[in-house]
Amino acid sequence: AEDFAKAREYFLSCLQGNYRANPYFWYGLAQACHELELHGEALNAIDKTMQDHYTDYKNDRILLKAKILAALNRDQEAITLLTKVADLIPSQEALCRLGVILARNNLLDEAEQAFRKIIRNSQGMTTKTRRREKPWITTAQKQLQKRTPDK
């Protein structure tokens, strides 16, 4: 947390003068604030990066915004964003987070579809990729076991 607090300070100090509208610095600030659970500040920062002409890290920024919205219990908005990027990000994170939020909102069939897709996707992964994606695969497996405990 100390590193994120320092990062927050640095990004805030960078957002001065000619750089006050720099989307890269706003994105960094949003990441640091999210990790510090300063979700209102994080949402304000990430919203400043959602400019049509700024395409760098677009899907990553959308994923971060969805995570922030979910932390603020704005699940419907998070679902919309996660649905938008789940198939565009190479990681299974967006799909897994989507499944968790769908389940939390009692949209169990849709959640199950998301978790099953993660398992299907994992079958074609290299060992290295499967290792990197393990937290999302494990979450999907656990969520599916909750749904069908006899299997």
Rounded Cα distance between 28 and 12, Å, is 9
pLDDT digits (tens, 9 = 90+) for 37-59: 999 999 999 999 998 888 999 99
What's the token pair of residue 48?
A: 């400043």
Amino acid identity of residue 73, one-letter, is N
Mean pLDDT over all residues of the chain?
94
Average pLDDT on 17-33 reads: 94
Extract the tokens encoding 145.
Answer: 């076991």
Q: Which residue has the tokens 């649905």?
A: 83
